[in-house]
Chain A
Amino acid sequence: MLQSPLRTPLIEGSKSYGSITSDILNPMMNKAGKFWYMGMTIAGLAMLFGVFMIFWTVWQGIGTWGENRTVGWAFEITTFVWWIGIGHAGTFISAILLLFRQKWRNSINRSAEAMTIFAVICAALFPLIHLGRPLLTFFIFPYPNTRGLWVNFNSPLVWDVFAISTYFTISLVFWYVGLIPDIGTLRDKIKKGLKKNIYNFLSFGWKGSARGWHRHEITSIMLAAIATPLVLSVHSIVSMDFASSIVPGWHTTIFPPYFVAGAIFSGFAMVQTLLIITRKTMGLEDFITESHVENMNKILIATGSIVALAYMTEMFMSWYSGNEYEHYAFMNRATGPYWWAYVIMIGCNVFSSQLLWIKKLRKSLVFTFLLSIVINIGMWFERFVIIVTSLHRDYLTSSWTMYKPTIVEFGLLIGTLGIFFTAFLLFIRIFPVISISEVKSILKTGTRHQQKTDLSHDTTE
């Protein structure tokens, strides 16, 4: 397909199909560098700390957390929503950018989709451990039982169960279907040994036949088509955990799309964090180019602006509504005892992301990396502000309290970060971080090759 000469190349350097394979596979098949070991050590330690905190929570009980009568949800739900939100960028890149035919997504979708799976795993931990009796977790699923009971289908918390299970399953399946051809490549590159047998098993006998590719492409497009409304619905359902209540600051109709925009915002920030490091340490700068980083920054500023618009709308409406409780909820956020969290939220989400209007900053890798961390901190605080400030002071003033997190809760947050990064570091050693076959399919149209050759291909080189 013809490309305008105005477009920056999607793949740098003069590559051939063979060099694409080796460029992507070599870093993972060779021995790991010291950065990898360093990363694994830190992440592994964090993960162990978190695992111990999970054990401590289950063993000693929820009393080890800082929640109290008034503030029944705090750190854990915040972190839960934060992780689910981060996961959404993966599906956005895999599915929505595919539907919009944005070819630049081909070199980042594999790692983004893997990120989604790990993020959802981290998120799913919280429903498990925040129940008073974790051994009875299966109660949340509707199964026939001797008590004749069913789950409360009216409750958004049950919708969450279905939404997150579906999201995890479909994301996993989507990721794996895309991975099959690349596992085939790995299988054929490795000559013998246990690794070859494992990849052989996992490759499902993929041989690259034309009909196979045809079905694969159609399945991928269809999965993308259903994953798109899925990603919108999952975070909307998560937002309905709050919005379907009547707590001031929570009961507001804008929550579903606002949460989705925020999720994509924080998710893309996390993708930037991961990929800026990965492209450098694995030598993949030719595939994950600076223009990829810039494109992702454009999405960051778009979604960041939508989030800012939502803040403005909520603030205006809290006054316009004439509802004193709603109005107080917002005044309390900005001027009450948690005002500092509010400042972090606005500063990290609104002001920082608006800096991306400046072209130089948009193209700067260092700025992008720092900004991506800042944005994720800001988005964590956004959920914290929404949850804790609305709960700690709602209708009944005699119930107003403060909330203070305990070391166990901090440990859980750090622990999930550890699990996430450990999983991602393992992933980059086991599976190709970039989708080899998809990048090959854009080699001709995405590089200077295309601009040089003419359109009639009667003779070969």
Chain B
Amino acid sequence: MMDEQFDFKQKYRNLLLILIAGGILVSLAAIFISKPGPSRIWANVLLNNQYFMGLSLGAAFFLAVHRVAQSGWHTVLQRLPDAMTTFLPVAFVLMLLIYFGIHNLYSWTDNNVSDKVIEGKKAWLNIPFFFIRIVIYFTGWIVLTRMMRKNSTALMISSDLKYHNRKILFAGLYLVFYGITVSASSWDWIMSLDAHWYSTLFGWYVLIGMFVTSLAFITLLIWLLKRLGYLKYVRADHVHDMAILIFAFSIFWTYQWFAQYELIWYGHLPEETSYYITRLHHFKVIFFINLGVNFIVPFFGLITFKAKRQIGWVAIVAAVVLIGHWLDYWLMIMPAAAGDKAGIGLLEICMTLVYGCLFIFIVLRSLSTGPLVVKNDPYLEESLNYES
């Protein structure tokens, strides 16, 4: 049991690859038929980059917080979020591709000297610095998550506690770097889509959304692996704690959503309200579905004691949360990037499918490279006997 390893069978690999290929083809067809315009296409690239990169970063955040807090219960699960962080190099390349669509997405890339506000921001919003920052963000994220992962997997073979201590050190460094860069990257990639608008809460709002999404994805991975017969030692007690986290941080996300909305509504300053007016007037349905799905479903779905302990039910709620936060990113990105042309159609679904299958492929492949449980982790016994 200790040495069980995930077998990434050829048929699953083929299925995912076929879905990726098919998705790309249908996306191209959708572009050809409905002619959504380059803004919407590039907005989709950005949206999916952000979403799936966010899954990796949020997974690392989950690990980092637990490791720094010396939490024991999550130890039996740690290979799952560790595997999720392996997507980051791919995300790096995909984000660099934005270069080709940068004029379709960001209005500050035009040399429009008459817009004084944007002129004033040129020191930060210029193309070279923009890409230097992308390199800084991803280099830091990839290096730190890799160091966390390496020191964790080293404990599969060695029992030397120095790996454990190093793992915690890199967790702390990651938290500091992540806190700063997730804020800055969200300003760069999402907030600057409408370069006149700003909100100091924005970075933290994105951070929490990232975290909840990653929690949901980890939970779905647990469900999937248990379905396939693995992870028999992950019990209702562990599921309970994942459910508590999804419950609590969904409420925290809602609180952030409300804080941003309420203060901008209350101040009624045109330079701030423009953000919400666009979304409330043109995308009202999605606006309220976003709030409903990301708050009502996890709140009422996971409020009872019993509900939190059944992996099947929690997985359903997790799936809904995953879709819900995709919608949240859509609302942040699409109205600003694509304007009138924004919509949810075949293009969006297929591109998300392509990204999703790619993400799952990379994660499952990383999972299959070693035992599912880190044998010599000092907190493993505690985790296996965890009661909640």
Q: Give the interface of A toward B (CB within 8 A).
A: 1-7, 99-102, 228-229, 232-233, 236, 240, 243-246, 251-257, 298, 302, 305-306, 309-310, 312-314, 316-317, 320-323, 357
Contact = CB atoms under 8 A, between A and B. Distances in A.
Interface stretch (B143-151, B258-266, B281-289, B342-350): B258-266
B381 A253 contact: no
B278 interface: no
A1 B387 CA distance: 7
Interface stretch (B6-14, B23-31, B175-183): B175-183
A4 B200 contact: no
Nearest to A354: B176
Contacts of B256: 256-257
Given A1-B385, A99-B244, A320-B121, A229 B251 contact: yes
11 contacts: A1-B386, A3-B72, A101-B73, A233-B255, A240-B262, A244-B267, A253-B200, A253-B263, A254-B199, A255-B259, A256-B259
Contacts, number: 105
A101 B388 contact: yes
B259 A257 contact: yes
Task: Give the dominant DSSP class at A's interface.
Answer: helix
B70 interface: yes
A317 B192 CA distance: 12
B266 A322 contact: no
Contacts of B200: 252-254, 310, 313-314, 317
B388 A257 contact: no
B34 to A, nearest CB: 36
B198 A2 contact: no
A254 B117 contact: no
Interface of B: 68-70, 72-73, 116-117, 120-121, 124, 161, 172, 175-176, 179-180, 183, 187, 196, 198-204, 244, 248, 251-252, 255-256, 259-260, 262-264, 266-267, 269, 271, 378-379, 381-382, 385-388
B379 A6 contact: yes
A254 B201 contact: yes
Contacts of A229: 251, 255
B314 to A, nearest CB: 17
Contacts of A233: 255
B121 A253 contact: no
A36 to B, nearest CB: 35
A309 B116 CA distance: 28
Given A257-B204, A305-B179, A317 B263 contact: no
Contacts of A256: 201, 255-256, 259, 263
A233 B254 CA distance: 12
Given A2-B381, A246-B269, A317-B200, A322 B117 contact: yes
Contacts of A5: 378
Contacts of A310: 200
Contacts of B175: 302, 305
B120 A4 contact: no
Contacts of A317: 198, 200
A328 to B, nearest CB: 14
